[in-house]
Structure formats: C-alpha cells, structure tokens
C-alpha cells in the first residue's frame, strides 16, 4: 500500500527538493564561470587532495564521488587533458588504475576554492541561524545514514 505524503510532508519535500537542486545548480554555474570547471570536477579534485599522497584507486574515487565508473573515467580523461590529474596503472593489479592529483590540479583547486566557499556561505549558511545550521547538519546526517543502509 502506498504511503502518500500528507500536506506537511509534501510541502517539506518540495521545499527541500527546490533548495537542494537550486543550490547545486548555483554551485555548478559559479564554479564553471569562475574556475572553468563543473562541480563534479571540483569534487574529484577535493577528494584527491584529501587522500594520502593525493592519490586514489579509480574504483575508490568512484565510490567517494558517488559516480559510476564510466562517468568518472570520462571526467578523469577531461581532467588529464587539463594536466590536473594523471592516471597510472596499479603495480599489483593490472586491471586497476590510480588517479593522482598533479601540482597543477592542486593549484587549480586552490584557485577555485575561495569562490566556491563564498558561494556555499552566501547561499546556504548566511540565510540560517546557528541553530538552523545545527539542525541542517543533524537532518543531513540522518538522511545520509539512512541512505547508506
């Protein structure tokens, strides 16, 4: 039996969906305009920058960026063409590859980060009170944990 949304749930769902999609769209457009990269490429660079040796197996990078392997491979090919990422074969697994963040890629990330952070601050955190920020964190963590199961 379908558990339809009541009026309050419907309003909450639509508000959440509108806010999330508008924010992601704004982040993507501003990163593209300011740094010449879509948000998906920025996320790849961030994940690599936070990894030991700025390197990850492609399969692990796909998981951490919530991307299919084929979509990630296409993105890494584009990042390689810019000199921001380099692929290399795994020594112990001939089918596996690593993605390494280059110095040029790290510099591109460093250049893009201030504008990205300002966009996040302006459109997500500035409109909220400190209490709402805490509520947002708690709600987001709960949703994330539920979806990981």
Which CATH number describes the domain made up of 35-119? 1.10.10.10
**What is the tens place of the pLDDT at every residue in 68-78?**
999 999 999 99
**What is the tens place of the pLDDT at every residue in 86-135?**
999 887 777 789 999 999 999 999 999 999 999 999 999 999 999 999 99
Mean pLDDT of the chain: 95
Q: Within 10 Å of residue 62's Cβ, how many Cβ atoms?
A: 21
Q: Give the domain ranges of the chain.
A: 35-119
Question: DSSP letters of 51-75?
Answer: SGGGEEEHHHHHHHTT--HHHHHHH
Tell me the pLDDT band of 23, cut-offs 50, 70 and 90.
very high
């Amino acid at each position: 039996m379908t558990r339809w949304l009541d009026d309050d749930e419907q309003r909450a769902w639509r508000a959440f969906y509108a806010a999330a999609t508008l924010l992601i769209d704004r982040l993507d457009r501003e990163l593209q305009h300011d740094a010449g990269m879509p948000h998906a490429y920025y996320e790849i660079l961030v994940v690599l920058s936070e990894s030991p040796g700025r390197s990850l197996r492609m399969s692990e990078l796909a998981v951490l960026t919530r991307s299919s392997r084929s979509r990630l491979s296409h993105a890494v090919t584009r990042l390689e063409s810019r000199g921001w990422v380099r692929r290399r074969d795994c020594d112990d697994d001939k089918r596996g590859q690593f993605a390494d963040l280059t110095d040029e890629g790290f510099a591109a990330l460093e250049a893009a980060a201030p504008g990205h952070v300002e966009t996040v601050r302006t459109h997500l955190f500035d409109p909220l009170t400190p209490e709402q920020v805490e509520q947002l964190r708690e709600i987001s963590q709960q949703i994330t944990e539920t979806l990981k199961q």
